[in-house]
Copies of this chain bind each other. A is one copy, B any other.
């Protein structure tokens, strides 16, 4: 670890990020297996140049732990409710270990049946979904993932929050050396963290990001945080947000975003609820012709990139290559906050 050398922030290798995250999470009281699993998603965030899902989330996770809104030593319990379905009851713990518990069974079921689904239930979720669909794509599977959050987002044509930021993630396997085709986006116009950042910076936001508590358009980020965010893409994004609520809420017997924020009771902890992950084995429909047809997908990717358009995740993958070679930079105030947190936890 070294400071300075001309660039901004504290320079860390990814191993140093990992060690720091594991140490702080353990100090916060998280069981070792959870701490390790949660730390990996923060490493993945930093590595991909996504600061908002990086080591910053130590502060978020520590808050959720301190508020008693996550079970620190929950033991995920796997069941198989149907031939092509798996379920992991996360017992109120963070989602990462629940996913790790269910992933091998989801992979096996997708390969055996052609398609399969995994429900994570009763988990606390604060991470991006792309690490999960990327992990499945790395196994050669096509994957979709959905999760509700807290009710912060109004339906199109409405004025009050019903939906969470309700991300949709998708992964598609590609032959080496290409990393999987992956996207992961909120069905809200922007991530909630974007609005937070504008509020902290005292900057106005575009008028289509949200509405105030009276349902009126506003460019004041604080008013939106007290009011409602908007979905992306008008009624289409709103329809997708509703779908995420349904398939990763009632369909798997878990909370909607309205129910999750009610359960939070103003603690400001991370959302509690479920996640649905669907995996499809290309060999199911294609048999021996998988490689032949995946090449046709590559033609589509080429047609996109040949005109100067980017594939989703291309920036993240470029950042990953840089981070693996050069390590990452953590803003000094954030690094100081994390060290202060660690000191307070170990005092």
Contacts and interface: CB of A to CB of B under 8 A. Distances in A.
Interface in A257-292: 258-259, 278, 280-282, 284-287, 289
Interface in A222-256: 232-240, 242-243, 245-247, 249-253, 256
Contacts of A303: 160, 162, 258
Contacts of A289: 253
A32 interface: no
Contacts of A281: 82
Contacts of A160: 303, 307
Residues of A contacting B: mostly? mixed
A195 interface: no
A154 B306 CA distance: 12
Interface stretch (A49-57, A94-102, A293-301, A337-345): A293-301
A193 interface: no
Contact of A250 (B119, B170, B239, B294): B294
A169 to B, nearest CB: 10
A116 B84 contact: yes
Contact of A81 (B156, B170, B233, B287): B287
Given A81-B114, A84-B113, A237-B236, A253 B285 contact: yes
Given A296-B259, A309-B157, A309-B158, A114 B142 contact: no
B87 A285 contact: yes
Question: Residue among A81, A82, A112 with the most chain B CB within 10 A?
Answer: A82
Given A246-B297, A253-B293, A117 B115 contact: yes
B300 A256 contact: yes
Contacts of A235: 185, 312
A234 to B, nearest CB: 8
A15 B280 CA distance: 41
Contact of A293 (B251, B286, B309): B251
Nearest to A112: B83
Contact of A83 (B83, B239, B307, B310): B83
A300 B239 contact: no
Nearest to A289: B253
Contacts of A234: 232-233
A304 to B, nearest CB: 5
A311 B299 CA distance: 38
Nearest to A232: B233
A70 B178 CA distance: 37
A81 to B, nearest CB: 6
Interface of A: 81-85, 87, 112-117, 119, 142, 154-160, 162, 168, 170, 172, 181, 183, 185, 232-240, 242-243, 245-247, 249-253, 256, 258-259, 278, 280-282, 284-287, 289, 293-294, 296-297, 299-300, 303-304, 307-312
12 contacts: A82-B284, A84-B115, A84-B284, A85-B114, A85-B284, A159-B308, A233-B234, A236-B237, A245-B297, A251-B293, A253-B285, A256-B300
Given A84-B113, A158-B308, 12 more contacts: A81-B284, A83-B84, A113-B113, A119-B285, A156-B309, A162-B304, A185-B235, A185-B239, A232-B234, A238-B309, A245-B297, A259-B296
A-B pairs, top 10 by smallest CB distance, nearest first, are A233-B233, A82-B114, A158-B309, A85-B114, A84-B113, A157-B309, A183-B239, A158-B307, A250-B297, A82-B284
